[in-house]
Chains A and B, each alone.
Chain A
C-alpha cells in the first residue's frame, strides 16, 4: 500500500491537533501525580465537565467563545479545589481507595450529565468551527488551529508559573521533597490545593476546546484520559516536558498508524505502545529511574 506524502502530512497534522488535546490532559495528570503521587482516574470527567460548562456558558450566558473558555477554566479550577478538599485529601496514601473514589466520581458525573443535559450529545456551534483553511489538498477548520495555539499558550503560561513565580517554585519544591519543603516554610496543603485547581483548569480547557470540534457527551473524556495516561508514562511520570512530548507523540503515532492498519485497532496501537514502554523503559523518556520501582 503506497503511502502518499499528502496522506502522511495530513495525518501528522491531524495527530498534532489531537496531540495538543492529549498534552492538556497529560499536563493535568502529571501535575497531580508529580506533586501528590495521586493517579486521578476521574480526570476524564473533569475534561467532560469542561465541555458541558463551555456549552452551558456559551448558550446561556454570552456567546463569546474566548471569554467562555476562560470562564470554564476558572469554574473547573474551583471544582478542583472542591475535589481536593472533599475527596482526595483524605486518600493520599490509600491507592485502592483512590480508585474507588475515582470511580464513584465518574459514575456520579456521567449520570448527572445525562440527567441534566439529556442522553443526546450536544453540538456546540462556534464560528471557528465553520470556517475552513485550505492548504493544498488538505483542509482544516480554524478550530484545529485554535486548539494548537491555546495548548501552546497554556504550556507557556504553566512553565512561566512554575519557574518564575514564588508559588510555582514552591510547587516544584514540594514535588521533589514535601518534607524539605515544609522545612523552608512551604505549606504542602496549600500547594496540593493549587495543584488540583491548576490541573482541573487544564482539563477543563481541553474539554472546552475539543467540545465544539466534535461532540459534547458524558463519555467524551474517557479515551482522552487513557491516552493522557499513556502520554505521561511515555514521557516519564513526573516530568512536564515528558508530558508534552508524550502527548504529541501519542497523537501523531495514533493518526499515522491508521495509514497502515485498520482503524478499529487504532486504540489498540496506543495501548500496545503503553505496554511496550512499561516493559522496556518504564521510567519513560524523561523520568527518573527509581531503584526498586522498575
Chain B
C-alpha cells in the first residue's frame, strides 16, 4: 500500500514536471521544439520498449507502424477535413490492425528469425509509402498538414498552432501512454510478459497462452507506435516516407536500447539523448554524424545496459559507498 502511494506521488510529480517545462521554456521556442520532438519519438519508443524490453521481442521494423499511423492521420485531416482527435484515433487503430495482420503469421518465429522478418516488414512498408504515389504522395510526401484547432478549456485557451500549445497537447498524450505503459508493466498481463521474456517454454508450462500474449502486446505496441506517428505528422506538418524507413527503424531500436530497455524511463531518456545530442552537436556540423556514431559505439562498449542501467549502477555505487562509510564509522 505504502509502495503504491509513493509510486502515485512520483507519477504526479513526473507529470507536473513535464507540464511545468512548458512554462520554464515559454520564451525558448527552439528548446520547446526539441522537447516536443522528443515526446513524439518517445511514444513509439515506449511502444517498442513494451515489445523489446518487457517481452523480449526485437522488432526492427517498428517505425513502419508509426508510418501507418502518420499517413492515415495526415490523409484524414488534409484530404478528408476531419478533426484531429478522430483522425489520430483512426491512425492508431489502423496501425493496431496492421500489427495484428503482421503479428499472426510472424510471431511464431523466435530469436534471429523474428528480428529479420520484422526488418523485412519494415522495409516493405517503407517501399509502399514511397511507391504508392496516388495514395501517399509518394516520395515527395504530403506537405501542408493542418494543425489542430484551438481548444477552449474554460480557464485558458490551448492553441496547438503555437509551440506551447502543441507541447502541452503532446505532453498530455505522452503522459497517457506513459500511464498505460506503467499500468501494463505492473499488471498480471505484464508479469506474464516478463515470464515469456525469461523463458517461453517455462511460461507455457505454467499455463500462459504465449501466442495470445505476444499477439496482444504486438498489436498494442503497433497501435501506440501509430499514435506516435500521427502526432509526429501533425507536429511537423509534413509526412515523408524517409521518416519511416530502414534508418529510422534502427534509430528507434537504438533509442530504446541506449535509453535502457525494460525500464519505464529508458525510452524517454533515449529519445532525449537521440534528439538533444545531434542538435547540440550542430556546432560541429560537418562531423556531427561521425561523432554521434562514435558516441553510440562507446555506449555499446561501456554501458551494456543502456543509459538507465548506467544511472542505476551509479546510484547503487553511491549507496554502496555510503553504507561502507557508515559501516566504517560504526566499527
Contacts and interface: CB of A to CB of B under 8 A. Distances in A.
Interface residues of B, number: 47
Interface in A65-118: 87, 90-91, 94-101, 103-112, 115
A87 B110 contact: no
Nearest to A290: B111
B238 interface: no
* Majority DSSP secondary structure for residues of B touching A: helix
B300 A101 contact: yes
5 contacts: A100-B296, A104-B299, A108-B294, A279-B108, A294-B108
Contact of A279 (B106, B119, B292, B296): B106
Closest 9 pairs (CB-CB, A-B): A107-B293, A104-B296, A104-B297, A108-B293, A101-B300, A111-B290, A100-B300, A271-B120, A278-B117
A260 to B, nearest CB: 16
Contacts of B300: 87, 91, 97-98, 100-101, 104
A115 to B, nearest CB: 7
A100 B113 contact: no
A105 B106 contact: no
Given A112-B290, A233-B116, A267-B127, A294 B295 contact: no
A108 B297 contact: yes
B286 to A, nearest CB: 7
A137 interface: no
Contacts of B183: none
Contacts of A169: none
A73 B225 CA distance: 43
Contact of B120 (A101, A237, A274): A274
Interface stretch (B4-12, B149-157, B228-236, B251-259): B251-259
Contacts of A39: 112, 115
Contacts of B127: 264-265, 267-268, 271
A97 B258 CA distance: 8
A292 interface: yes
Nearest to A100: B300
Contacts of B111: 293
B290 A115 contact: yes
A145 B53 CA distance: 48
Given A39-B112, A101-B297, A226-B123, A292 B201 contact: yes
Interface of A: 39, 87, 90-91, 94-101, 103-112, 115, 222, 226, 229-230, 233, 237, 264-265, 267-268, 271-272, 274-275, 278-279, 282, 292-294
Given A106-B293, A115-B287, A293-B110, A96 B116 contact: no
B203 to A, nearest CB: 13
Nearest to B53: A96
Interface of B: 52, 58, 60, 105-106, 108-113, 115-117, 119-121, 123-124, 127-128, 130-131, 200-201, 246, 250, 253-254, 257-258, 261, 286-287, 289-290, 292-301, 304
B245 to A, nearest CB: 11
B109 A101 contact: no
Contacts of B130: 264
A222 B295 CA distance: 21
A105 B301 CA distance: 12
Given A108-B297, A278-B113, 14 more contacts: A94-B304, A100-B257, A101-B300, A103-B293, A104-B294, A104-B295, A108-B290, A108-B294, A115-B286, A267-B123, A271-B123, A278-B109, A278-B117, A294-B109
A67 to B, nearest CB: 31
A243 B228 CA distance: 39
A107 B292 contact: yes
A52 B201 CA distance: 48
Contacts of A98: 300
A264 B293 contact: no
B217 to A, nearest CB: 18
A128 to B, nearest CB: 33
B58 A96 contact: yes
Contacts of A292: 110, 200-201
B131 A264 contact: yes
Given A115-B290, A267-B127, A100 B299 contact: yes
A258 B258 CA distance: 40
A90 B301 contact: yes
Nearest to A262: B131
A279 B105 contact: yes
Given A100-B258, A104-B295, A294 B110 contact: yes
Contacts of A278: 106, 109, 113, 116-117, 120
